[in-house]
Amino acid sequence: MNENIPIALEARNITKRFPGVVANDQVDFTLKKGEIHGLLGENGAGKSTLMNVIYGLYTADEGEVLINGEKVEINNPHDAIDHGIGMVHQHFMLVPVFSVTENIILGSEVTRGTTLDLNKARQDISRLSEGYGLKVDPRSIIEEIPVGVQQRVEILKALYRDANILVLDEPTAVLTPQEADDLFRIMRELTEKGVSIVFITHKLREVMDIADRITVMRRGAVVGTTTPQETDKQGLAEMMVGREVILEVEKGPASPGEPVLNVTNLSVNDDRGIRVVYNVSFEVRKGEILGIAGVQGNGQTQIAEALTGLRNAASGEFSINGKKMPSGSPRRLIESGLSHIPEDRHRHGLVMSYAVADNMVLCTYYESPFARGLRRNHQAVLENAKKLIHDFDVRTPGPLVNTGKLSGGNQQKVIVARELSRPVQLLIANQPTRGLDVGSIEYIHNRIIEERDKGAAVLLISAELDEIMSLADRIAVIYQGEIVSIHQTDQITKAELGLLMAGSKL
């Protein structure tokens, strides 16, 4: 990139503290006109915080923001919008029951007299969406359209407000590889029309593919700014983590044995009573990892919940080691040899207000040695915790500290420690590394493979294709609640998986 390109946005010396963390520590960041600037960092590095400060959602403790070289006061999103900043948030900011049009005009409504002029708004939106190649139907209701389209609505929302600086916060997290490619095409088109883009991600490949420049953040601070030409994935990973990392998981071939988990014609409904899993059948054998690949929200959550007793199956059945399991009884399942790393560690994995030691006996507290009759054996609970903290390298000030005080990675390790300290016959791991730093991811991956090699059957559910590809021995693809097909990992490519996940046939 040419040095003389004017700067669209500059953040100087931004510091933002939250209770207990410095989320941004004297951060400097510049965005040149018309560039795609990748902002890379692990979860919790402070990327979203920086952008929320620039967008006026958070008030910085120190620092200033300049637009086109001039210092500006941004106290709320309204100010940011007035300065031409648009932001697509990590979690979409769309009202699910509103139409596309209603969502786009909210806050910048067009009226005739006192009445909303939805017709005019729809025309404006259609014109805009044709102009930028962002296909949407202005009349459809948000909750009825796919996430890829919802994302276009979010981008249109910014363009409708004449944004020329666009912040995309982890936009690819919810997309299939093909949808992501489509997004990259749109981003290129936008920059050609003069929009400058901040593209936040923690995926190395994506910044290498699309960014003009890359800024890396770690623990609230900027590590450096570089370009794809000057660096490679390995280099970026080291900047992100601060040490050398092994990007590839090392694992030997599987030696599958008897089936442990047998699922036959399982159908499951969601909370609203709507069928989201249709007649799913598969088996997981001793000593193998079966991965379930699919875009978030295609029924994976409900399958996992049904198989771990958190939700009743609507029909169908499953068995562990040939014994038919009752619906909705987590304890029976656990006693049959199930270990479960749940998708949402806050809701299903841990009691945040309990001590680490108590969380570590959450499935076994009623058994000897942790209970003696009706009484609890505090000493045994504590001993157990000390041992697990050591074995699983949980970074905590002590076993009696509230689990909520730990970082996400260490909370996850508490769960892993609890679940793997019992004899494991079947391990169901749902998004086991979501939101974790590279170091913890490495650790948890190795542990899962270790369990496999010790003879456990592992069911791995993940929205990260890379994770599935590197861990699973076989891969089942789920799309709209049905298992589309099951493949040996070495007989399918990532691109093919992407297509299957998007509902196309090979």
Partner 1 sequence: MDRSISWKRFFRQWGAFIILGGGVVLGILYFYLQNPIITEAVLASAVRQATPLVLGAMCGLMGERAGIINIGIEGQMLLSAFVGYLVNAWTGNLLVAVFVGVATGAVLGLLLAFMSVTLKVDQIIGGTVINIIAVGLTGYFYQAGLTTKGKLAPIALGKLAELPIIGRALFNNPPITYAAIILVFVLHYVLFYTKWGLRTRAVGEHPRAADTVGVNVYRVRYINVILGGAIAGLAGVFLTLEAVGSFERLMTNGRGFVALAVMIFGKWSPLGSWGAALLFGMTSAIQTQIQFAGVLDIPHQFIGMLPYLLTIVVLAGVVGRSRPPAADGIPYEKE
Query: In the numeric block, which tokens belong to residue 407?
Result: 């970082």
- Considering only 76, 123, 234, 488, the residue that binds partner 1 (CB under 8 A) is 76
Nearer to Mg ion, 174 or 266 (CB): 174
Residues 227-266: x/- map of binding to partner 1 (CB under 8 A)?
A: ----------------------------------------
Q: How far does Cα 209 stand from its chain's mean position?
A: 20
* Nearest residue (CB) to ligand ADP, 170 versus 451: 170
164: Cβ contacts below 8 Å, ≥ 6 apart: 8, 84, 194, 195, 196
**How far apart are CB 44 and ligand ADP at their closest, in Å?**
4
> Is residue 48 within the footprint of Mg ion (CB under 5 A)?
yes
Give yes or no for residue 49 binding Mg ion (CB under 5 A): no
- When binding is defined by CB under 8 A, the residue of 10, 42, 55, 461 that contacts partner 1 is 55
Residue 480, contacted partner among ligand ADP, Mg ion, partner 1, none, CB below 5-8 A by kind: none
Of the residues 47, 286, 434, 447, which one makes contact with ligand ADP according to CB under 6 A:
47
**Which of ligand ADP, Mg ion, partner 1, none binds 193 (CB below 5-8 Å, type-dependent)?**
none
Listed ranges 58-66, 82-90, 113-121, 415-423: which one lies at the site for Mg ion (CB under 5 A):
82-90
Angstrom CA distances, 59 to 11, 18, 75, 76, 429, stand at 13, 11, 7, 8, 38
d(CA 129, CA 160): 10
* Residue located via tokens 């209970």: 371
Nearest to 427 by CA among 390, 461, 378: 461
Tokens of 370: 């942790």
Rounded Cα distance, 446 and 450, in Å: 6
- Residue 91 or 205 having the CB closest to ligand ADP: 91
Stretch that binds ligand ADP, among 47-55, 81-89, 297-305, 459-467 (CB under 6 A): 47-55
Binds partner 1 by CB under 8 A, chosen from 13, 108, 265, 504: 108
Which entry of Mg ion, partner 1, ligand ADP, none binds 41, CB below 5 to 8 A by partner kind? ligand ADP
Q: Is 301 exposed, middle or buried (0-12, 13-18, 19+ CB in 10 A)?
A: buried
- The token pair that represents 93 in the structure block: 């900011």
Q: 399 and 355 in contact (C-beta within 8 Å)?
A: yes
- Measure Cα distances from 305 to 319, 344, 472, 500 in Å: 15, 11, 20, 23
- Whole-number minimum distance, CB 45 to Mg ion, in Å? 8
Could you give the CA distance from residue 55 to residue 501 in angstroms, rounded to a whole number?
A: 34
What stretch of H or E contains 330?
helix 330-335
Helix (H) or strand (E) holding 391: helix 378-391
> By the criterion CB under 5 A, which residues form the site for Mg ion?
48, 90
What is the contact surface with ligand ADP in residues (CB under 6 A)? Answer: 18, 21, 23, 41, 43-49
Residue ranges binding partner 1 (CB under 8 A): 18, 55, 57-58, 76-78, 81, 87, 89, 93-99, 101-103, 105-109, 111, 114-116, 118, 139-141, 157, 161
